[in-house]
C-alpha cells in the first residue's frame, strides 16, 4: 500500500497516514497538516474537492436565488455566503456559537498547534467564510482585469487587417481555453478542507514545491510591476492634463498615496462594485474617443513616438515639406522585413487577453466556483467583441497614425484630457485589484506559511493587512519611479510572465491533472476512514498510463499548446529586450524628476 506524492512524477513514497491521539490511532485530519504539506496526495485533494463540489451544488439548489438582469449589471457590494454554517443557523448564545466563536473568529489558524484544537466543522467553516463573491461580481473582476482595448487599434496597425483580426481571434480563443483548463483543475483540487488560494497552489498540488515557488515569484513580480506601471502612467496623464505645470514626481506620488486608501479593500466581493465602475468607465471612454477620432484628424504631433507607423514603417508618419502622408491601411503586414515591429504587435494581441494570472484567486473567493466558467466565457466574449469593434474602428479612421493609447491619438487637447481622466479612474481601480491579489500572494505564501501570520478573516490579520498595503504600494512606486524606461521593463515581464500565466501554465497544469486522474485504477484512491492513499504501481509506467487515459488527444493538445506558448514568449522576450536596448540609447527620465517624459518642449 503506497502513497503517491503530490505531483512528483519521479515516483511514489510511503506516507504514514496514522497518528496517535491519547493512545488511539486515527487518520491525520486536514487541519493538522502543514499549510502546504508535501505528504498530502493528489488523491486526497481530489477526494475532498469532489465532496466540496457536491456540498456547493446542494446548497445552490436550496439557497441561491435567481439573479435578475439588474443585479447582474449592478451587483451588490455584499451577498450571502455560499453555505449557511452551523454558527449562522444556531441562535445567538447557543452552545455551538460559544464553542465556534473564539476558535474561528480570531484564532490564528496558520499556527499548527492551535489548529489541533479545531474541529472538522470549524475548519471547513473558516474556509467558507472566505468565499463570498458571486459570478456576476466575478464577471466584472475578470473584465476589469483583462479589459484594456486602447492598444488594440495600434496592434492591428502593426499587423494589418488580416493578420490582426486572425491573431486576436486565435489568442482570444486560446485565452478562453486556458481559463477553462484552470477552472477544471481548480474544481478537482480545491476544497473546504484544503482551499486553493492562488495560482501557485495548483502548481504545488500537481508538480511539487519548487514549481509553486517559481509560479508565486513570477506572479508577485508581475503584479508588483503592474501596480507600479499604473501609478506611473496615471502620473503621466495628470502631468499632461496640467500641461506639465505640476511637478511630475508629485503627480506620480499622489496616486501611490491614493493606493494606500483604496488598497484597504480586502475581499473581492467588495471589489465587485468598483470593478463595475471600471468597466462602465472604459466603455464611456471608448465611446467618447470614437466620436473624437471620427470627427478630428489624428494627433500628428505624437505619431513619431508611439504610433503603428513609427513602429513598422517610419516613413509613413514622417512629414514631407511639413505635410504628413495621408492615412493608409495594409491588408497584410505593413513591413514583412520589420520583425521586431510585427512581434511587438503580436505581443499586444497576446497581452490583451492576459488576465489568467488572477483567475485562481477569483475562484478561491467565489461562493460557488463552478459558476466561474459562466462568468469567464461571458467576459471573454464581451472583451473580444469590444476589442475587435473598437480596434478596427480606430484603425479604419487613423490608419498608420493610430496611437498605442488610442485616446491620446486624438488631436483636440480637450478630448485628450477627457480621455486621460477616464483612463486614470479605471486605471487606479485596476491597480487596486492587482495590488489586492499581489498582497494576498505575499501574505498566504510568506507571512502565513513561514511566519504563521493570522488569517485575513481575523482581527489581527485585518490590522496586518492595513499595515502591509502602504508598504506594498510604496515599493511598487519606488521601483517603477527609479527604473528608466520602466515601460520597457514591463514589456519584458509581459513576455516572461503574462504569456506564461495565460497560455503556458494552464495546459501544463491540465496535463498534470489529467495524468494523475487518468493513472487511477479500480481499487485505488484515498480512504478517509484510514487516511491512506492506495496505489497499485508507481513511476514512469503509472504516468504513461495516465497520459494516454487523459484522454490522450487532450494531453497531446495541451503539450502542443504549451510549446507554442513558450515559443511566443521567446519571440516576445526578444522583441522587448531589443526595444529596451534601443530605448536606453536615448536619455531616460525617471519619476523622481519634476520634468515629465511626455514634455517635449
* CB distance 35 to 115 below 8 Å: no
**pLDDT (tens digit per residue) in 210-229:** 999 999 999 898 888 888 88
Nearest to 75 by CA among 272, 208, 271, 315: 272
User: Which pLDDT band, with edges at 50, 70 and 90, does 273 fall under?
Assistant: confident
- The confidence score (pLDDT) of residue 339 equals 74
* CB distance 255 to 231 below 8 Å: yes
Please name the residue ranges forming H helices in 403-539. Answer: 413-442, 448-451, 459-482, 486-493, 499, 505-518
**Cell digits for 406?**
488610442
Name the most confidently modeled range: 136-150, 288-302, 350-364: 288-302
Better-scored residue on pLDDT, 8 or 14 = 8
Domains and CATH numbers, the chain: 129-521+542-583 (1.20.1740)
Neighbours of 484 (CB within 10 A): 16
Is 80 exceeded by the pLDDT of residue 484?
Answer: no
**Segment 5-33 mean pLDDT:** 53
- How does the average pLDDT of the chain come out, rounded? 80
- The confidence score (pLDDT) of residue 88 equals 39
User: Which pLDDT band, with edges at 50, 70 and 90, does 130 fall under?
Assistant: confident
* Exposure class string for 253-281: b at 16+ Cβ within 10 A, else e: bebbebbeebbebbbbbebbebbbebbeb
Taking the mean position of all CA atoms in its chain, how far away is CA 315? 39
DSSP 246-270: S-HHHHHHHHHHHHHHHTT---HHH
- The confidence score (pLDDT) of residue 147 equals 61
**pLDDT (tens digit per residue) in 394-403:** 999 999 999 8
- The confidence score (pLDDT) of residue 87 equals 38
Is 60 exceeded by the pLDDT of residue 511?
Answer: yes
Is 50 exceeded by the pLDDT of residue 14?
Answer: no
**pLDDT (tens digit per residue) in 393-440:** 999 999 999 988 888 888 888 888 898 888 888 888 888 888 888 898
DSSP 301-331: GGHHHHBHHHHH-GGGG--BTTBPPPP---S
**pLDDT (tens digit per residue) in 569-590:** 888 888 778 777 776 666 666 6
Please enumerate in sequence order all residues whose Cβ is within 8 A of that of 305, keeping only pairs 6 or more positions apart, or say none.
none
Is 50 exceeded by the pLDDT of residue 528?
Answer: yes
Better-scored residue on pLDDT, 162 or 591 = 162
- The confidence score (pLDDT) of residue 90 equals 36
**Cell digits for 484?**
528608466
Better-scored residue on pLDDT, 563 or 595 = 563
Unique residue bearing C-alpha cell 505528504: 39
**Cell digits for 388?**
475587435
Is 50 exceeded by the pLDDT of residue 356?
Answer: yes
- The confidence score (pLDDT) of residue 98 equals 37
- The confidence score (pLDDT) of residue 63 equals 56
- The confidence score (pLDDT) of residue 346 equals 74
- The confidence score (pLDDT) of residue 23 equals 42
Is 60 exceeded by the pLDDT of residue 352?
Answer: yes
3-state DSSP assignment of residue 118: coil
**Cell digits for 213?**
515557488
Better-scored residue on pLDDT, 489 or 443 = 443
User: Which pLDDT band, with edges at 50, 70 and 90, does 108 fall under?
Assistant: low
Long-range pairs for 552-560: beta carbons < 8 A, 24 or more residues apart: 554/510, 554/514, 555/511, 555/514, 555/515, 557/507, 558/181, 558/507, 558/508, 558/510, 558/511, 558/514, 559/507, 559/511
- What is the C-alpha separation between 132 and 458, in angstroms, rounded? 16
Region of 455 on the Ramachandran plot (φ > 0 left; ψ -120 to 50 alpha; else beta) = beta
Long-range pairs for 582-587: beta carbons < 8 A, 24 or more residues apart: 583/485, 583/488, 584/484, 584/485
DSSP 493-522: HIIIIIHIIIIIHHHHHHHHHHHHHHT--T
Is 70 exceeded by the pLDDT of residue 599?
Answer: no
Is 50 exceeded by the pLDDT of residue 265?
Answer: yes
- The confidence score (pLDDT) of residue 106 equals 62
Better-scored residue on pLDDT, 118 or 466 = 466
Better-scored residue on pLDDT, 272 or 281 = 281
The reply to whether omega before 173 is within 30° of 0 (cis) is: no
**Segment 266-280 mean pLDDT:** 79
**Maximum C-alpha span of the chain:** 95
Distinct helix (H) and strand (E) counts, the chain = 26, 4
**Segment 150-173 mean pLDDT:** 89
Region of 49 on the Ramachandran plot (φ > 0 left; ψ -120 to 50 alpha; else beta) = alpha
Model confidence, pTM: 0.84
Please enumerate in sequence order all residues whose Cβ is within 8 A of that of 326, keeping only pairs 6 or more positions apart, or say none.
none
User: Which pLDDT band, with edges at 50, 70 and 90, does 202 fall under?
Assistant: very high
Percent of the chain residues topping a pLDDT of 70: 82
Taking the mean position of all CA atoms in its chain, how far away is CA 400? 32
**Cell digits for 234?**
496615471
**Segment 375-386 mean pLDDT:** 91
Percent of the chain residues topping a pLDDT of 90: 29
**Segment 184-189 mean pLDDT:** 96
**Cell digits for 307?**
504610433
Amino acid at each position: 500500500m503506497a502513497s503517491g506524492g503530490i505531483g512528483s512524477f519521479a515516483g511514489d513514497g510511503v506516507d504514514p497516514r496514522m497518528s496517535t491521539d491519547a493512545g488511539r490511532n486515527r487518520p491525520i485530519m486536514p487541519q493538522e497538516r502543514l499549510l502546504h504539506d508535501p505528504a498530502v496526495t493528489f488523491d486526497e485533494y481530489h477526494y475532498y474537492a469532489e465532496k466540496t463540489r457536491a456540498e456547493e451544488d446542494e446548497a445552490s439548489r436550496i439557497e441561491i436565488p435567481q439573479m435578475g438582469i439588474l443585479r447582474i449589471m449592478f451587483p451588490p457590494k455584499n451577498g450571502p455566503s455560499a453555505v449557511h454554517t452551523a454558527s449562522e443557523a444556531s441562535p445567538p448564545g447557543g452552545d455551538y456559537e460559544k464553542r465556534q466563536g473564539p476558535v474561528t473568529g480570531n484564532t490564528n489558524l496558520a499556527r499548527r498547534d492551535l489548529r489541533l484544537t479545531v474541529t472538522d466543522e470549524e475548519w471547513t467553516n473558516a474556509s467558507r467564510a472566505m468565499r463570498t463573491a458571486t459570478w456576476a461580481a466575478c464577471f466584472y473582476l475578470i473584465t476589469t482585469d483583462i479589459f484594456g482595448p486602447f492598444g488594440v487599434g495600434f496592434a492591428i496597425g502593426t499587423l494589418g487587417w488580416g493578420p490582426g483580426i486572425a491573431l486576436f481571434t486565435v489568442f482570444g480563443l486560446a485565452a478562453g481555453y486556458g481559463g477553462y483548463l484552470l477552472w477544471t483543475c481548480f474544481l478537482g483540487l480545491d476544497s473546504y478542507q484544503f482551499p486553493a488560494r492562488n495560482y501557485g497552489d495548483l502548481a504545488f498540488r500537481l508538480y511539487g514545491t519548487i514549481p509553486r515557488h517559481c509560479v508565486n515569484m513570477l506572479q508577485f513580480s508581475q503584479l508588483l510591476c503592474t501596480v507600479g506601471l499604473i501609478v506611473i502612467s496615471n502620473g503621466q496623464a495628470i502631468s499632461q492634463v496640467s500641461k506639465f505645470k505640476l511637478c511630475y514626481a508629485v503627480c506620480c506620488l499622489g496616486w501611490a498615496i491614493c493606493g494606500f486608501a483604496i488598497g484597504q479593500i480586502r475581499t473581492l466581493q467588495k471589489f465587485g462594485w468598483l470593478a463595475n465602475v471600471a468597466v462602465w468607465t472604459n466603455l464611456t471612454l471608448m465611446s467618447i474617443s470614437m466620436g473624437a477620432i471620427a470627427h478630428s484628424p489624428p494627433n500628428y504631433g505624437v505619431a513619431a513616438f508611439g504610433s503603428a507607423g513609427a513602429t513598422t514603417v517610419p516613413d509613413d508618419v514622417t512629414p514631407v515639406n511639413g505635410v504628413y502622408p495621408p492615412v493608409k491601411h495594409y491588408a497584410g503586414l505593413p513591413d514583412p522585413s520589420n520583425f521586431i515591429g510585427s512581434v511587438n504587435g503580436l505581443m499586444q494581441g497576446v497581452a490583451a487577453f492576459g488576465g489568467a494570472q488572477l483567475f485562481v484567486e477569483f475562484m478561491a473567493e467565489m461562493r460557488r466556483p463552478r459558476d466561474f466558467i459562466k462568468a469567464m466565457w461571458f467576459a471573454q466574449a464581451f472583451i473580444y467583441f469590444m476589442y475587435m469593434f473598437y480596434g478596427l474602428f480606430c484603425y479604419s479612421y487613423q490608419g498608420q497614425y493610430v496611437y498605442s493609447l488610442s485616446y491620446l491619438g486624438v488631436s483636440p487637447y480637450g478630448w485628450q484630457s477627457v480621455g486621460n481622466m477616464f483612463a486614470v479612474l479605471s486605471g487606479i481601480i485596476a491597480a487596486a485589484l492587482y495590488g489586492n491579489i499581489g498582497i494576498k500572494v505575499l501574505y498566504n505564501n510568506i507571512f502565513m506559511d513561514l511566519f504563521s501570520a493570522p488569517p485575513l478573516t481575523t482581527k489581527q490579520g485585518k490590522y496586518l493587512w492595513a499595515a502591509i498595503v502602504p508598504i506594498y504600494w510604496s515599493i511598487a512606486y519606488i521601483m517603477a519611479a527609479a527604473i528608466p524606461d520602466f515601460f520597457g521593463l514591463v514589456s519584458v515581464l509581459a513576455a516572461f510572465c503574462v504569456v506564461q500565466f495565460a497560455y503556458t501554465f494552464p495546459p501544463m497544469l491540465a496535463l498534470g491533472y489529467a495524468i494523475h486522474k487518468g493513472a487511477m485504477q479500480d481499487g485505488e484512491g484515498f480512504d478517509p476512514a484510514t487516511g491512506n492513499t492506495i496505489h497499485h504501481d508507481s513511476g514512469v509506467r503509472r504516468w504513461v498510463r495516465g497520459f494516454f487515459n487523459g484522454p490522450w488527444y487532450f494531453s497531446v493538445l495541451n503539450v502542443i499548446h504549451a510549446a507554442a506558448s513558450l515559443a511566443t514568449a521567446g519571440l516576445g522576450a526578444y522583441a522587448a529586450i531589443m526595444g529596451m536596448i534601443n530605448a536606453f540609447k536615448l536619455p531616460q527620465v525617471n519619476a523622481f524628476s519634476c520634468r515629465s517624459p511626455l514634455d517635449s518642449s
